[in-house]
Amino acid sequence: MRDINLPLPVARAVLNPIFRITLNKRLPFPMQRRLLDIGSRAQLLPEGSIVQRLRLGGRPVERISFADTSDHGAVLYLHGGGYAVGSTATHRSLAARLARDTGCAVYVLDYRLAPEHPFPAALDDAEAAFLELMASYHAGQIAVSGDSAGGGLSLALAQRLIARHGSTPAALGLIAPWSDPNRIPDRERDLVISKPWSRACAAAYLGDGDPADSVYAPLTGELRGLPPTYVQVDVSELLHTQCVDLVAALRAAGVHVQFTESKGLWHVAQLQAALAAPAAAALGELAGFLREALQPADLRELG
């Protein structure tokens, strides 16, 4: 099926009630997950997408590729959802577009969710998945990408890989990363998420952990030595200020950073790339960044 390019005001009007109902603090997390998975059935996959269900680090993963996918690199994708919701199904369309536009296989990890599995279960799963991927690729051939909570998890994973294993991913591609769950939003809500919902997710993820732990809040952790990083966020998001602060901190730490602030989109609008051309364009820019990081130098020279 072809993409549907809705005008942004129309797309926002359609999505607003869906998110208000689904991502609601009053709904139990299992119900939120079920509703999101049901809604994901309407997502459009690019023609030719190949979806394989595998396991990495002991957890289910979807490997998304195309017939012409290269073996020169891979992307480990960590989905968003406040560490409490989201799945391989909710992010399948986004990941398929990344796979098509990077030319590399994208592995979407089904990491354990809170509150059943609080911090640091998700990070442990991501670490194990990356290390198993290193049986097929070296660390510099694997980019890590994620959105919202998955963006924060991507940052925490890179920090852990460097500190524990001396391994640095090729790049980080972060869509509105939630890099410090301790921070309380200064507004009640944006189109997608609300302050009460985000606080409930933060508490569920922390469990009995220490909120001062930089592994829980990677914005406060060691940023020096991180790989080239791309951060995308819309100016209307609750996480906008946090993303601005993250970019400033990364640059102060000497990390090469590319930063894009969109106007008129919404939190992780890249998930709706099939509905709105500006969202598709943003996702295409992220794919281009990851493709350049993963493409061997000799191929870049030929291109």
Q: Give the catalytic positions in this structure.
A: 148, 237, 267
For the chain, what's the residue count? 303
Q: Is 296 helix (H, G, I), strand (E, B) or coil?
A: coil
Instruction: State how far the Cα of 91 lies from the Cα of 89, in Å rounded to an integer.
Output: 5
Residue showing tokens 């940052």: 155
Strand 59-65 and strand 104-109: the pairing is antiparallel
Instruction: State how far the Cα of 229 lies from the Cα of 290, in Å rounded to an integer.
Output: 9
Q: What is the maximum alpha-carbon separation in the chain? A: 55
How many C-beta atoms lie closer than 10 Å to residue 116's C-beta?
12
Q: In the beta sheet, which residues pair with residue 199?
A: none
Terminal-residue alpha carbon distance, the chain: 30
Q: Is 77 helix (H, G, I), strand (E, B) or coil?
A: strand
Amino acid identity, position 150: G
Instruction: State how far the Cα of 228 lies from the Cα of 23, in Å rounded to an integer.
Output: 32
Tokens in use for 68? 């012409």
Q: In the beta sheet, which residues pair with residue 175?
A: 147, 232
- In terms of Cβ atoms closer than 10 Å to its own Cβ (0-12, 13-18, 19+), residue 196 is middle
Q: List helix spans (H) across 5-137.
A: 8-22, 29-39, 92-102, 121-133
Instruction: State how far the Cα of 240 lies from the Cα of 236, in Å rounded to an integer.
Output: 7
Instruction: State how far the Cα of 261 lies from the Cα of 270, in Å rounded to an integer.
Output: 13
